[in-house]
Structure formats: C-alpha cells, structure tokens
Amino acid sequence: MREGSLEAPVRRPIPWREADFWDEAKLDAETRRVFDICHGCRRCFNLCDSFPRLFDLVDAAPSEELDTVKSSDFAKVVEACTLCDMCFLTKCPYVPPHEFDLDFPHLMLRHRAVAAKKGQVSFGARQITETDRNGRMGCSMSGLANWASRRGNALTRPAMAAVLGVHPDADLPTFDSETLEAQAKRLNFARNADAPAAKAGRKAAVFATCFANYNATAIGRAALEVLAKNGVETELVYPGCCGMPQLEQGDIARVAEKAKSIAAAFKPWIAKGYDVVALTPSCALMLKFEWPLIVPDDEDVKTLANATFDASEYVVDIARRHGLAPGLKPLAGEIFLHISCHSRAQNMGQKATEMLRLIPEAKIHVAERCSGHGGSLGVMKETFEVALKVGRPVARQAAERKAAFVVSECPLARDHIVQGAERLDAASKPAATARHPIEILARAYGG
C-alpha cells in the first residue's frame, strides 16, 4: 500500500451485531490507535471541532502524547463529531484500503452507540429525534408550536432550555399547518406529456422526508412542480423518517428497523420502474450509503440504495439524458448556494450547482464548506456556539455577498448559515425566502 492511500476509499459494514463492537476495553484500545494516528497527521484540523479538541487534549497532556490523555476526556471529541463523513471522504490518507484502516466517523458512532446502550443520551436529545411524532403534533397546532419555539420568546424558550437542553438563541424549524402528504393529495400539478422525460417514461417515487413533510413543505411542492413540468410521473411516498436523528444518537438498532421497513415500502414502486428521489441530502445519504452498511444483507435495502437519487441529482440526470422542458426564465439577483456535507458525502459532485446553471443568466456563488449545523449540534446548549464557530467562514461569505437567495441542499444548514450571517451583519438577511435549490428552479419555471 502506497503512502497517501491514492486508491478510492472503501467503507466497511458497521459490525454492530458483534460482541466486540460493544466491548468498552476494545473500543478504548481502538480509539487510542486511531487518535494516535490522527495526532501524528493533523490534516483534519480545520474540518470540525472534534479534531482541535483531540489535538488540544494531546498537547495539554503531561507527555504531550496520547498515552497520558485520560479516556474519560475522549467524550469531548465524540460530542463534536457531526457524522458528516468529510474527514473520511476528503482528508484522511489512511482510510481503507490503507493498512491503517481508519474510519473516524464510524468510530465516533460506535462511542455513541455504547453510550446510548448505557442510557447516557439525554432526555432532550431523545425527544428531538422523534421527528415523526413531533411533526404530527407540530403541524396539528402549528400556530402554538411556532410561537413557542420562536427565538426571543421569554416564556417558552427558557423552559425548553431547562427541559430539553435546547439553546435559547438557536433558530428552530417552524411547522407548516398542513403536511406535504396532505397537500400532495389535493394539489394537482399538471404533468407535461410533451416534455422529453415524459416521452422517456421517467417515473419517480418522491421520498418526502420528515423535514419536507412537516417543516418545509415548500421544498416538496417545488420538487413535485418541477418534475411535473418535465413530464415525470410522480408519487409522494413517506413511510417514515430515515433514522438520521437516531443514528446521530447511536441508536443503530432502531435505524436498522427503519431501513428494513422503509425499503420494503419502496420495493413495489421500484418494481414498477420508479426511481426514488429524496428531498434532502441527509436522507439520500442514509438510503444510498448508511443503510447498506448497517443492514448489508437486506436485499430490499440494496435495491433501494441503487434506485435512490438526491433531488438535484435527479433533475441533472433528466437534463443530461433527455433534456429539460422549456420555460426557464432568468431570476433577478445572485444565488448563494451552499453545498452541504451530506451532499458531498454522496460522491455525486456539485449537482445543485449544475442544476442551477441550467437557469438562463444565473449568477451563482458556491460555498463548499461545513455550515456547522450538524443536526442536534446546532441547537443544543452545550454545542450551539461551537456550531456557529465552525460555520462562521460560510456565514461570513453569505453576509458579504448579500445575495437575493441563500439556499443549501440541506435546509437546516441554510437556516444555520442565515442565523450566523445575521450575527455578523444584521442587514444580511436574504431578499427572497427559499431554502433548497429546487425552489429556485421552480421559481425560474414561474412557480
């Protein structure tokens, strides 16, 4: 094996069903092996806060080596990992097939799985992961829920901080008054039978995702409209949350259950020739890459992984293979486009950039760096300020550009960037409201 591991990275299945995975002595030994290699390399120092925390621990140790770092201090490193996979995919020279065999994110996941098994996940963190329950409740009483979660609410936000551990200044997602599933049943986007994709017989089962179903239904409406204009026969399908929130907290068994049930729900659609289109990159990443590593022997999961597209990726695929339907018009103002980590982790290139360049005269500024949000990291009391710090370079770009649109394939990342930019410059709020690049394409079509 050559130094630098020039071969393509290979991801190994997560051995969570094996006894050794849960053995804390073996976990500590593996952690020290990996951390010692990371300490000797330090190439990942600028990706997230996990690595600066690790290197600070080593540098402050009596021997200035890992042997005098307490194992109990490793929790600080684990806390800061967002499982974004950027170290594995873009920085680390020692990932498989290199003989050092490093997979830092999955090591952090193993730590969280052991902590979850020991009951060390906080009450608030567990409640936040229940996105379907929270979404159904939030949509049914959206006015009250959005009032209660609003920043600056002196009555409710301190209570949320005390009970759930949510930082009082963190911008929280709002709930729509009607789910995307309900809207799709009554909205009838006219399918363009003359579009090139219609003649090619393209069909898509659109995975609503919990965020687009409950919190940002505009993303789903835009996607359905764009696909209809391009003649794609669509069905909105939502068997449940993909399990990314549970994965973040180390509940691998529950993610495995979700993978099997959701893959089984999509199986008949795939059998009828439908592609699967996920509306947010975290969910696309789960379906394409994480689920096959958690339940590698499930054929339905493998089939779903091979059939899944990210929303931007799917539009670009249509454009390349068939051509888009005419009707795209120029938009006034610059588009600030953030390429999220979970988009990059799909190894598909900047598909959102390619998609938006299909708009005539589009002015696009691309930012390909971590927003800092990282799921619960971006909202909890202990890590909110850290998340803003990690995302400050992107937020600074957004504040300086003052673009008409600020979008990200990860809508939570987008909101985090906007909040960070507003902290740097109160006048940097985007002129137009849109979270996801598919919404921009729908506007260019006149939507």
**Domain residue limits, the chain:** 19-117, 123-164, 180-321, 335-444
pTM (whole model) above 0.85: yes
Residue 376 to residue 245: CA distance in whole angstroms: 8
Are 344 and 89 in contact by the 8 Å Cβ rule? The answer is yes
Mean pLDDT of the chain: 94
Length of the chain: 447
* Rounded Cα distance, 245 and 390, in Å: 20
C-alpha 105/C-alpha 386 separation (Å) is 18
Beta strands in 30-157 (DSSP E): none
**CA–CA gap between residue 244 and residue 286 (Å, rounded):** 7
d(CA 140, CA 175): 9
Confidence of residue 242 (pLDDT cuts 50, 70, 90): very high
Residue type, 256: A
**Cα(17)–Cα(26) distance, rounded to whole angstroms?**
15
In degrees and rounded to multiples of 5, residue 340 shows phi and psi of -75, 160
State pLDDT tens for residues 130-173. Answer: 999 999 999 999 999 999 999 999 999 999 999 999 999 999 99
Sheet holding 308-310: strands in order across? 233-237, 203-207, 275-278, 308-310
Rounded Cα distance between 66 and 37, Å, is: 10
- Per-residue pLDDT tens digits for 405-433: 999 999 999 999 999 999 998 888 887 78
Residue 388 to residue 423: CA distance in whole angstroms: 10
Question: In the structure, what pLDDT confidence band is assigned to residue 3 with cuts at 50, 70 and 90?
Answer: low
Q: pLDDT band at 4, cuts 50/70/90?
A: low
How confident is residue 1, by pLDDT bands cut at 50, 70 and 90? very low
Q: What gap in Å lies between CA 127 and CA 2, rounded to an integer?
A: 46
280-313 confidence digits (pLDDT tens):
999 999 999 999 999 999 999 999 999 999 999 9
Give the residue among 219, 237, 224, 235 at the shortest CA–CA distance from 190. 224
